[in-house]
Amino acid sequence: MLKVHLDSWLREFGPRGNEEIEAASVALLLDELERRYPRLRFKIRDERGELRRYVRVFVDGVDVSASTGVATPLTGAQNIDILHSIAGG
Amino acid sequence: MASDRTVRILVGTRKGTYIVTGDTARRKWKVGPVAHEGYEIYHVVADPRHPGDLYAAVNSAFWGPQVQRSQNWGKSWKEMMTPLTPPRKDREGMFNDADPTTAVPRPLNNLWHIEPGRASEPETVYLGADPHLLFRSPDRGASWEAIDWVNQNPARKEWGPGAGGACLHTILLDPRDPRRLYIGMSAVGTFRSDDGGRSWKPTNKGVLAPFLPNKHPETGQCVHHVAADGADPDTFYRQDHGGMYVSHDRMEKWTRIGKPLGDDFGFCVASPPSAPGRAYFVRLDGMARVTGEGHFQVHEWNDRTKRWRTLVSPTAFPGHFGVQREGIATDRLDPAGIYVGTTTGQLFVSPDAGKRWQLVPFQFPGIHSVSAAGPAAE
């Protein structure tokens, strides 16, 4: 079971604490998260299914956003962090 | 409510929505409620058909765009349905911000303008968005239908963005004819539909495109904003990249009026119902994109005398001020209130059609949009 931790700002749309989800990839994990919390739809991913530009997904501490992205397999993973990147002004 | 004499200035900023409240004297203002902290609010507008209803175009570089609605003058807000771009197979040809020469599918970007429908269609709301998208809701934002002529047009691959993006920022409805409406897009120009949005005609005749080899193309003008005359629905005032214009024939042709001002660059224009034939522009330096004379200034065009009048004393508000395309608004009172928000967070108010001006004593974040809600002249 994966332990999913969301950015405090994202908690406006989703779970207030950690969420436990079983999923084989980042895309499938986000599918399940959005099923449980419909307001998260199109916040983390756009309508093409791609991660938004300033969203970062970490798998066991490794940022996969710009590499394998939503296709990242989660076999053997334990912790997922979904955060917003340092940007803005 | 007819007895409600409250005047509200709805301010969309780089960091949230601010509702500024006063009365018909329009001299004392109270700031609040504040909402959407941290979000970019490109437009906030009241729905005069449903008193208390506000719509906000809520944008975020992090979480994408949202349509939000309040039903209590901004005390609380609810996320409504936000329309999306068409399916992937239909999205070829949309612009990629990073490389405008490469046509790649793009998702819905920022929301730019929300236009409540006519009194005769009380549930209808229109929405303009980037990239060059127009939607209509039949149920006050619960669902949206795409206007396909715009959203699926094969010519989209020729439609370029302005510096603010591929924004559809102007939506104007003919109050007499439910089939007639107008749109403005950067950098595509204006279009009119006479059949409820099924087909559209470019309406840019006479408007200069100084940045193109062909200076008078059918489309490609960088329209910044258009306002309908406060009383005559066939007359429009246009602030374009290529100057200030008027049309008296439903945008069939445009006449440049800004040349007496010298540099007639700017972004915004408004025309109040209490002053037919008057339009208010904020002229900016075409290079620096701030008020060029070294002070805040608003210019009034009188379409009857064909003359300009400068409204603000040169010594009243020194400085260089930027004003964006939704940065000016007028109310429905007589004399009209004029409201101007700046990119550096000043909110200027005139309670008497430009005779006197004051600053609302509050430092806002950079202001994207200003609109007014309140009673009409009696």
pLDDT digits (tens, 9 = 90+) for B272-330: 999 999 999 999 999 999 998 899 999 999 999 999 999 999 999 999 999 999 999 99
B90 contacts in chain A (CB < 8 Å) = none
Chain B's closest residue to A54, CA to CA, is B62
> For the residues B145-172, what does the mean pLDDT come to?
91
Chain B's closest residue to A47, CA to CA, is B107
- The closest CB to that of A54, out of B61, B88, B108, belongs to B61
Q: What is the pLDDT of residue B87?
A: 54
* B297's tokens: 């200034």
Q: What is the pLDDT of residue B2?
A: 47
**In this complex, is the C-beta atom of A58 within 8 Å of any C-beta atom belonging to chain B?**
no
- Interface contact flag, A84 B62, Cβ < 8 Å: yes
Domain ranges of chain A: 2-84
**pLDDT of B104 above 70:** no
**pLDDT of B31 above 90:** yes
How close, in Å, is residue B40 to chain A by CA atoms? 11
Domain ranges of chain B: 6-373
CATH T-level fold of A2-84: Ubiquitin-like (UB roll) (3.10.20)
Could you tell me which residue, B34 or B100, shows the higher pLDDT? B34
**In this complex, is the C-beta atom of A56 within 8 Å of any C-beta atom belonging to chain B?**
no
Give B169's pLDDT tier (boundaries 50, 70, 90).
Answer: very high
**pLDDT of B91 above 80:** no
pTM above 0.90, yes or no: yes
Give B154's pLDDT tier (boundaries 50, 70, 90).
Answer: confident
Chain A's closest residue to B89, CA to CA, is A48
- Interface contact flag, A47 B82, Cβ < 8 Å: no
How close, in Å, is residue A23 to chain B by CA atoms? 23
Query: What is the rounded CA–CA span in Å between residue B4 and residue B51?
Result: 10
8 A C-beta contact, residue B19 and residue B350:
no
Angle at B324 between CA B65 and CA B19, to 5 degrees: 65
Q: What's the CATH class of domain B6-373? A: mainly beta
Q: What is the pLDDT of residues B55-78, one digit of tens each?
A: 999 999 999 999 999 999 999 999
Chain A's closest residue to B365, CA to CA, is A89
